[in-house]
Amino acid sequence: MNRRQFIGTSLAGAAAVSATMSHSAQAAGKHDFKLKYAPHFGMFKQSAGQDLIDQLKFMADQGFRALEDNGMRKKSVDMQNTIAKEMTRLNMEMGVFVATADFNNVTFATDDKDVVEKIMADMRDSVEVAKRVNAKYCTVVPGRFDLGLEWDYQTALVIENLKRCAEICEPSGLVMVLEPLNPWANHPGLFLTKIPQAYMICRGVNSPSCKILFDIYHQQITEGNLIPNMERAWSEIGYFQVGDNPGRKEPGTGEINYKNIFQWIYKKDPSLIVGMEHGNSKPGTEGEKAVIQAYVQADSFQV
């Protein structure tokens, strides 16, 4: 049947309209991702513009079902509420925001009352932020290690301080996710660097509100052995973040086989959010298209 005959019937006409709508959806770039990949504000600003709500709409139009925003706690209450309302409308989930993180000072590895109270104040504020933006997870970086104190004493202090934080989080269901960060390329001097260390601490805290943020970029640098470590620590992992190495850009720009890793995560728990905490390897709108296509490719694993 030629196209003119096809369009000549009402049934075929309806099919043509449907096909046109489908083509339009494809042209808009909507993707049916298997995992909940979470971009951050600024990642698609060349395509969507500077307005945060327009950026959210663009993410949703591309098929992304989550957002993470390290700086959410520093935004105004009005902006938090506006973002949350739009995310609800778009059926997007909130990933992590940073609850407390100090890269320059000893924080969790101390019993200094003023320092500890500042941590607790951060956590109390974070519980309120989480309620406003419908967040389940918040990032905690336990600060630097103390050059003048035995390591095991520091570990005990970190566990005790996290127990206090967990008591603040538990009533609302908010989950702290502890992020080990690599000491070689980005963050020398921090207390928490490895997944087995984070696993031990979470077991010590023994709370549903204290889990691990497994940042695959950082752990490729620090210890490698990614999937075996993910398997071993699985009971304490609450959240993933990604970035390729070297460079900390989108999947496919470095040495990590993200297609296999995403398949492994999907088989374990497809409901987990995967934060896109990395930069774009190329500038402008072409770079943003490259990020989207990188996730299309890495998400093309078999289920």
Q: How far is CA 208 from CA 109, 138, 173, 175, 176, in A?
A: 21, 13, 8, 7, 9
- Mind listing the pLDDT tens digit for each residue in 75-131? 999 999 999 999 999 999 999 999 999 999 999 999 999 999 999 999 999 999 999
pLDDT at 23: 34
Q: Which helix (H) or strand (E) holds 175?
A: strand 175-178
**Backbone CA torsion sign across 77, 79, 81, 84:** negative
190 DSSP β-pair partners: 144
Domain ranges of the chain: 33-298
Cis peptide before 283 (omega within 30 of 0): no
251 pLDDT higher than 50? yes
* Identity of the amino acid at 130: A
Kindly state the DSSP code that residue 184 receives in the 8-state scheme: T
59 pLDDT higher than 90? yes
* Percent of the chain at pLDDT exceeding 70: 90
Residue 63, judged by CB atoms within 10 A of its CB (0-12, 13-18, 19+), counts as middle
214 DSSP β-pair partners: 240
- Mind listing the pLDDT tens digit for each residue in 20-42? 333 333 335 699 999 999 999 99
9 pLDDT higher than 90? no
- Mind listing the pLDDT tens digit for each residue in 256-279? 999 999 999 999 999 999 999 999
pLDDT band at 292 (very low <50, low <70, confident <90, very high): very high
5 pLDDT higher than 70? no
Task: Tell me how far apart the alpha carbons of residues 105 and 10 are, in angstroms, rounded to a whole number.
Answer: 72
Q: Which helix (H) or strand (E) holds 137?
A: strand 137-141
106 in the Ramachandran plot: left (φ > 0), alpha (ψ -120 to 50) or beta?
beta
CATH number of 33-298: 3.20.20.150
78 token code pair? 């009005």
279 token code pair? 């930069």
Q: Please list, in sequence order, all residues whose beta carbon lies within 8 angstroms of the beta carbon of residue 283, skipping any fewer than 6 positions away.
A: 46
69 pLDDT higher than 60? yes
